[in-house]
Amino acid sequence: MLKKRVIPILLIKNNDLVKSVKYKNHKYVGDPLNVIKIFNEKEIDELIVLDIEKSKNNDELNYELIKKFASECYMPLTYGGGIKNLKQAEKLFSLGVEKILINSANFSNYQLMKNISEKFGSQSIIAAADINKNLFNKFYLFDWVNRKKIQLDINIHIENCIKNGAGEVLINFVFNEGTLSGFDTNWLDFINCKISVPLIINGGINSMKNIEQCLECKRIDAIGVGAFFVYYGPHKAVLISYTSNKGK
């Protein structure tokens, strides 16, 4: 069984490190390679890098940049963004990427994830699901690329991802992403308690205490953190940090 983990999530746009709020208003915050070097020194558990432009623009992956990420990382690296076929996955693994994250591609076809899993194993795949909520605080699947609601039950989607090879599931709470307003573990009540793979949550972590609360939740296996590790103070100065109180 995997230990509880705290995982920085870096967003890349036009090869730069950016940070968003509720998946909007992406702000430049620095050079991703420099940030990876800082995280190396802080001995983080693992790292997720998401290129937010590749899926949206249907661009080819920037293999040269990803190679630099993988070469620089001392920790396991997960890459996501614009992965459309098995050939791309093979290339990523050959560059040193340990896991691949699949999100929007699953809405049209789970076959890609199944193909990757059959060749490289389920431990190599994280299925991500973006969750938003309406005015009545009802959660729904959100397609961030087209910014629309997906007419599919959340738990059915998660189950389909697991059946087709996902070794872990990352739930992104869009309405809270980048807000630094805190993560509420009660939001997980809508997720089937019998989920059979490790669950990663992401969205709004704002303090060490909040991280500790999430780590104490039996349903959470790992915590994705963005803004809390990137910003500091009320004016959101850029200061890369990481918890020294790792999950056990």
Structural tokens at position 59: 């661009």
130 has catalytic annotation: yes
Do 228 and 206 meet the contact criterion of CB atoms below 8 Å apart? Answer: yes
Do 26 and 11 meet the contact criterion of CB atoms below 8 Å apart? Answer: yes
Rounded to 10 degrees, what is the CA torsion of 173, 164, 162, 56?
A: -10
Do 227 and 178 meet the contact criterion of CB atoms below 8 Å apart? Answer: yes
DSSP 172-208: EEGGGTT--S---GGGGGGS-TT--S-EEEES---SH
Do 50 and 77 meet the contact criterion of CB atoms below 8 Å apart? Answer: no
The residue from 45, 130, 143, 221 that is catalytic is: 130
How long, in residues, is the chain? 248
Please identify every residue annotated as catalytic.
130
